Structure 1
Amino acid sequence: MTGTTQGSAPDRSAAPHVVVAPDSFKGSLPAAAVAEALAAGVRDVVPAARVTCLPMADGGEGTLEALLGVWGAGPREVATVDAIGRPTTARWAVSPDGKVGVVELAEASGLPRVADAPPRPLGAHTRGTGELAAAVLDAGVAEVLVCLGGSASTDGGAGLLAGLGARVLDAAGAPVPDGGAGLARAAALDLSGLHPRARQVRWRVAVDVTNPLVGELGAAAVFGPQKGAGPADVAALDAALGRWADLLERTTGARTHDLPGAGAAGGVPAALVAVLGAELERGADLVAESVGLPAALADAALVLTGEGSFDSQSVRGKVADGVARLAAASPARPPVVVVAGQVRLPAAQARAAGIAAAFSIAPGPVALEELLGRTAERLRETAAHVTALTLAGRAA
């Protein structure tokens, strides 16, 4: 990885500066490996190019890995529990300056962790993520970045609060069971045992959906079926989340029932906003800021980004969208080119979103298995074509 030079405009007489900021190719390559392959393609055509690799993510699964890659740091680990209460180990990270801690929900409470067990939509919880967050607070950070995505539960973040020392009690003063269904009995929220630093730090939550906590577009109705919830389960969970939101409002004064984004990851943002004053932000924007993308774009001549499938969702808050918006706002206003496994977005829609062009790495009709086995090679080759088209003549 090379550094970035800030300035008001790119210096065309110097070696061109190319920023490579892709998402992962899920099922094939992590974002760091994608960035390395694209950078190699750039250097194949313009060996003198200055290339800044900034692996990206949209704030969900893979964000921890992307940040570790950019920071050049290794993960830390803590013993905790998965979404159904089994012992596990989860990773977390701290920025090089020690100020920002990163919690990825999928590390402890994600669906992949419990894929070997029957779905438990009513009982799955986020207590393990709360214990993970407690370890981050113990490290003395001033800010906690919570990355959502891949959640196995629909518990409104009650488990996360429990992992931080809070207690959700029933009418008799007994703790309710972990999981969304237990919230149907929630009558009081005891915050006296909350981690002493929980309210002393800044909480930022990466979200990529705008769903509210409850209702027909809420956490249970939209995302519950993905976690094994049938119609009866969805109805029970939605009612329980409504009761939980009422309790949060009585306890903290914050209304989260219809808060945009509160329905992400089974409703986790509702608890974080109400109890800890968390800020909800677009995941891709939050990651971009954390890895220093805005500064890197200041003198860029070309920006390469990418993901497995470039489609209509890509320009609605995903990585390509965030990169394009930041590039358009930068002093250099460099062209942004997407390199993807498949391109499903019409060119006109891509241009409207600030994407100059999009290219598929598929050389023609090819079996998916074959393409997956040659992803890095094809990324490098496609990046070389893009670089030749946009920079080779200028560099010469």
Structure 2
Amino acid sequence: MQIVLAPNAFKECLSAPAVADAMEEGILRIPADIRTVKVPLADGGDGTTDALVSARNGVFVELTVHDPLMRPVTARYGLIDDGETAVMEMAQASGLWRLREEEKNPLLTSTFGAGEMMRDALDRGVSAIIVGIGGSATTDAGIGMAAALGYRLLDGQNREIDPTGGNMQELAGIDDTYAHPHLKKIKIHVACDVANPLLGPNGAAPVYGPQKGATPEMIFQLEDGLATVARHLQAYNRRFRPEMPGGGAAGGLGAGLVGFCCAELRSGFDLIADYARLDDALADADLALTGEGKIDHSTRFGKVPAGVGQRAKKHNIPAVALAGGIFGDVSSLYEEGISALFSITPAPISLAEAIGRARVLIAQTSEQVIRLWLLKN
């Protein structure tokens, strides 16, 4: 019997590889002929790098970059496929987690640090970069990233602008004379888990600006700035379309990656699952076990448990999902290929205790799920 272990991370608790290890620990307590195949996953947000480095036996690279407020910090990304592919999360450098509450202000923040990670990978000669763009502190349409990659972003007097969200309106020209020479020679895949466009009522500024510290007045300024960058990107790159789904992700970084770098936006789950070779593992499996920290009605929209269920369904095998908590009506997940859902908490406990005991609870629940499964198989 072969079981594929394909969880997401349990946020603020365990990485996806650690969750898969805990599942395996519980299952292997059972005295039965069971083979486990671990395929830790992500949806383009936290855990993307850990999942792919684990799945593809890669290595980590540490480097000094700038945080959203241009302070030096240590970040890391991964190299897989013998160094041919870099995998990174923009939030390592430019994420909201880097800022204290009182520091949040998308007029002052920049994706420059995310661009520095990309530049380091390009300097190492990679042929592809995978970028997860969840959890950003920025709304700069990727001009900070572009500046780090060598683009000169010019105002009306032909002076370089400071590439922050508050300065987007000053953009009057794009000069790629000094852009990294390898940038247009490689493939850049963007793992994106939202479909918001760059502009409009469902765009980057009104939807995601408030969580980054934007006031209503700031949102109007950011929208104008994003529109300014969009006009110049359309002139610079004929393939760029501001209305494209996902362009508004990470404060417009999705749009910036397409416009400046000719990147491809993809569903975060699908991109990670393909690189992790999930379908290859499922082809020979009898059961898939997935999960993440929280499962609710939104899980069906691009999240890992739903994606695993859909792919398991195509292979005609059942999928079971574990969660730290299950909230509200989740019956729609049954249509996505999930056969059953289990909470790992056996009794009322505090969040702190659940986090502290997560590995033990995941192992115990995984063991009980498989013992139940074996009664019928």
With the length of structure 2 as denominator, give the TM-score of the two structures.
Answer: 0.96
Q: Distance in 1 between matches of 2:270 and 2:350?
A: 34
Contact 1:17 1:302 (8 Å CA) reproduced? yes
Q: Deviations over 1:304-348 (max 9, x none)?
A: 000111111211101112111221223xx2110001011125463
Partner of 2:172: 187
Percent of aligned pairs with the same amino acid:
39
Conserved in 2, the CA contact under 8 Å of 1:68 and 1:74?
A: yes
Shift of residue 275 of structure 1?
A: 2.5
Unaligned runs of 5+ in 2: none
Partner of 1:102: 87
Residue deviations 1:228-259, cap 9 Å, x none?
00000011001100011001011212343211
Measured in 2, the distance between the counterparts of 1:142 and 1:55 equals 24
Residue 3 of structure 1 corresponds to: none
Partners of 1:46 and 1:38 in 2: how far apart? 15
Equivalent residue for 1:66?
51
Given that residues 123 and 178 in structure 1 are in contact (C-alpha distance below 8 angstroms), is that contact kept between their aligned partners in structure 2? no
Q: Note closer, same or farther for the CA distance 1:348–1:150 as it changes in structure 2 (3 Å cut).
A: closer
Kept after mapping to 2: 8 A contact 1:18/1:52: yes
Q: Say which of 380, 383, 393 aligns to 2:363.
A: 380
Question: For 1:364, which of 336, 344, 347 is the aligned residue?
Answer: 347
CA contact (8 A) 2:65 2:72 kept: yes
The 5 A counterparts of 1:1-396 are 16-115=1-100, 118-330=103-315, 333-344=316-327, 346=329, 348-394=331-377
CA 347–389 in structure 1, closer or farther in 2 if over 3 Å, else same = farther
Q: Which residue of 2 aligns with 1:6?
A: none
Superposed CA offset, 1:160-200 (max 9, x none): 11111001100100011221111101000001111000000
**CA contact 1:302–1:336 (8 Å) conserved in 2:** yes
Which AA in structure 2 matches 1:191?
D
Helix, strand or coil at the partner of 2:331: helix
Task: Output the CA distance in 1 between the equivalents of 2:292 and 2:374.
Answer: 22
Indicate if the aligned counterparts of 1:335 and 1:355 stay in contact, CA closer than 8 A.
yes
Tell me how far apart the structure 2 counterparts of residues 352 and 51 of structure 1 sit (CA, whole Å). Answer: 25
Q: SS in structure 2 opposite 1:72?
A: coil
Matched position secondary structure for 1:25: coil
Amino acid in structure 1 at the alignment position of 2:300: V
Q: Distance in 2 between matches of 1:391 and 1:138?
A: 51
In 1: Cα distance, 2:375 partner to 2:27 partner? 9
Contact 1:157 1:271 in 2 (8 A): yes
1-side partners of 2:223 and 2:289: how far apart? 42
Q: Which secondary structure does the structure 1 equivalent of 2:346 belong to?
A: coil
Give yes or no for contact 1:308–1:340 (8 Å, CA) kept in 2.
Answer: yes
Of 358-367 and 129-138, more deviation after overlay is shown by 358-367
**TM-superposed deviation, 1:46:** 4.5
CA distance in 2, matches of 1:62, 1:367: 24
Residue identity opposite 1:63 in structure 2: T
Distance in 1 between the 2:350 and 2:54 partners?
31
Partners of 2:76 and 2:224 in 1: CA distance: 33
Give TM-score, length-normalised by structure 1. Answer: 0.92
In 2: Cα distance, 1:253 partner to 1:264 partner: 21
Unaligned segments of structure 1, at least 5 residues: 1-15
Aligned-pair CA distance for 1:47:
4.1
CA contact (8 A) 2:296 2:330 kept: no
User: Is this contact kept in 1: 2:26–2:365, CA < 8 A?
Assistant: yes
Could you tell me which residue of structure 2 aligns to residue 8 of structure 1? none
Once the 2 structures are TM-superposed, how far is the Cα of residue 392 of structure 1 from its aligned partner?
5.0
Quick one: distance in 1 between partners of 2:118 and 2:311? 30
- Tell me the CA shift for residue 393 of structure 1: 5.0
Distance 2:136 2:280 in 1: 32
The separation in 2 between residues aligned to 1:249 and 1:273, in whole angstroms, is 11
CA RMSD of aligned residues (A): 1.5
Aligned length: 377
CA distance in 2, matches of 1:126, 1:67: 23
Moved more, 177-186 or 252-261: 252-261
The alpha-carbon distance between structure 1 residues 381 and 277, as it changes in their structure 2 partners (threshold 3 A), is same
CA separation in 1, counterparts of 2:149 and 2:240?
21
Distance change in 2, residues 1:116/1:100 (3 Å):
same
Question: Is the Cα contact below 8 Å between 1:206 and 1:282 reproduced in 2?
Answer: yes
